Structure 1
């Protein structure tokens, strides 16, 4: 695998902002970032040519924090939470949720609006929910619509009549399911952007062995292979994770979350360089490892 072009790295990266509203990530020892830290991160990202921000209603007060930092001119992608059972019509609920996001972000429109729980499209109100997204795109309050998934099988379940502009999914050196399933290529052929997240697996891939929680010791064989490959190639975990995602075919945006401007600078520096082939032995389908929602963090 060759190197990512240094001139285009910023354009390929989306700034993940869960840390702007939550103490996010298993390796996050600093907690939720301050507004001053957020301002420095936004400035650093802008100077690096990054112009896309990824956020969500579910990310605590991330949207409000971004609005206070003035992100006008940025391509903002946000996500709707799970739709509750209520007296509102589906269209009214979507409109109200988007109204809230736009107010918090202090903008008139967003670049993208994704569903955090795409399984809702398979339920009784699925068609109404999809058409409500289409209506917001038609009205110009949303540029692109899409879904955020946890595994490729969710895409298999979507009705063929539902077309999306963006799919966001996890992808990293251990979790290559989007590529191996063929979905990365299929989305590209369909003209749908693929945005990948969790390239550090919430920081787990960057943690040295002694710092890893005991829960992860059951995958010691995998960790040994990862550490051996890093030693053989001379790459740092950060370099390997960033370069792998940026060089993988079919990926349009790589979402990275940071806790400081210095952290973002380190990621950008790590991105530029050669990426040797990754051994297939590192790829796994074990959701107990790949899905942080299933982790026992003790």
Structure 2
């Protein structure tokens, strides 16, 4: 699998990451097979969050590593914090407590990357900065990033930070493209799409933040999988047509569509099926033409000006 450099860091990772949200549903041996298979195909960044399975996903992952022939430095462990029961919390105390909990559950001395999970309207950036500095100096977190944040939220936070924010994790799939749509509809009356995220994709490229695309097979706001879904015949016909031409699965083409973008995004796939992950990983070796990329975009129901 091809590698990408994450943001302004010196961390090189496979260009596809594995989201471990559903790992709490697996046994230790099942999870070990998923991890081993991921590493075999070049997927080495494992995305967690303190809320996944109420912490169980991190625990199962750590227990599974006892059956995996990989050293800690072969793994890039990323976790997220900030979502609590019914509210968001970017307080210094919660960030530090969350990291300590993740370290215990993951049975590791350090987290490679920590992301703030969802924007906290009550964020006091000075507190976040204090938490990040303490975690960095102690060696408990190597790098930092955010998730689901717009440019001004990021700029407000960066004003107080000593560390770069190397990642922004954002929802993107072939059937969920708001951060791409508005770019086609500039200075138009009655435009079919408007800017809702303050040009986060352009901002990320300008500031060398890696966009991690979450839910790359979902439509709407995580309403379901679009591949093979009879509600979306046109996009599925086009996916199958290109998949057969390239000799890969429709899922691989859906990921290749994201990888084709010059932002060098890193899709985060959540499959706990080793065989399916092998098929998805083949996307790294598929280069869609410009025409194929636009054919898929239009087949997803989008119209160009």
Alignment of 1:34 with 2:10, yes or no, is: no
Partner of 1:129: 128
For 1:155-166, what aligned pairs fall within 5 Å after superposition? 155-158=150-153, 160-163=155-158, 164-166=165-167
Assess, with a 3 A threshold, how the Cα gap between structure 1 residues 273 and 94 changes in structure 2: closer, same or farther.
closer
Partner of 2:21: 18
User: Of the candidates 48, 57, 66, which is equivalent to residue 55 of structure 1?
Assistant: 48
- Contact kept, 8 Å, 2:136 with 2:142, in 1: the verdict is yes
Assess, with a 3 A threshold, how the Cα gap between structure 1 residues 230 and 260 changes in structure 2: closer, same or farther.
closer
Equivalent-residue separation in structure 2 for 1:63 and 1:233 (angstroms): 37
Equivalent-residue separation in structure 1 for 2:90 and 2:277 (angstroms): 42
3-state SS, counterpart of residue 37 of structure 1: helix
State the Cα distance separating 1:144 from its structure 2 match: 1.5
State the Cα distance separating 1:191 from its structure 2 match: 2.2
- Contact kept, 8 Å, 1:12 with 1:252, in 2: the verdict is yes
For 1:1-298, what aligned pairs fall within 5 Å after superposition? 7-8=2-3, 11-21=14-24, 32-60=25-53, 61-70=56-65, 72-73=72-73, 74-82=75-83, 90-118=91-119, 120=120, 122-123=121-122, 125-149=124-148, 154-158=149-153, 160-163=155-158, 164-180=165-181, 182-201=199-218, 204-209=225-230, 220=231, 223-230=232-239, 232-233=241-242, 235=244, 236-275=249-288, 276-279=292-295, 280-282=297-299
State the Cα distance separating 1:82 from its structure 2 match: 2.3
3-state SS, counterpart of residue 293 of structure 2: coil
3-state SS, counterpart of residue 83 of structure 2: coil
- Contact kept, 8 Å, 1:197 with 1:255, in 2: the verdict is yes
State the Cα distance separating 1:8 from its structure 2 match: 4.3
Deviations 1:121-158 (A, max 9, x none): x4154431343234323432111212111xxxx40441
**TM-score normalised per structure 1:** 0.73
Deviations 1:197-234 (A, max 9, x none): 1111166122342xxxxxxxxxx5xx233134235535
State the Cα distance separating 1:14 from its structure 2 match: 1.1
Moved more, 36-45 or 233-242: 233-242
Deviations 1:61-96 (A, max 9, x none): 11101111227221111011325799x993232221
Assess, with a 3 A threshold, how the Cα gap between structure 1 residues 233 and 75 changes in structure 2: closer, same or farther.
closer
Note the residue ranges of structure 2 that are not aligned, 5 or more in a row: 5-12, 66-70, 159-164, 184-198
Say which structure is richer in strand: 2
Deviations 1:2-33 (A, max 9, x none): xxxx5549711111111102xxxxxxxxxx23
- Contact kept, 8 Å, 2:82 with 2:94, in 1: the verdict is no
Note the residue ranges of structure 1 that are not aligned, 5 or more in a row: 1-5, 22-31, 210-219, 286-298
Assess, with a 3 A threshold, how the Cα gap between structure 1 residues 140 and 232 changes in structure 2: closer, same or farther.
same
Equivalent-residue separation in structure 2 for 1:172 and 1:142 (angstroms): 29
Asked which structure has the greater RCO (Cα within 8 Å, sep 6+), the reply is 1
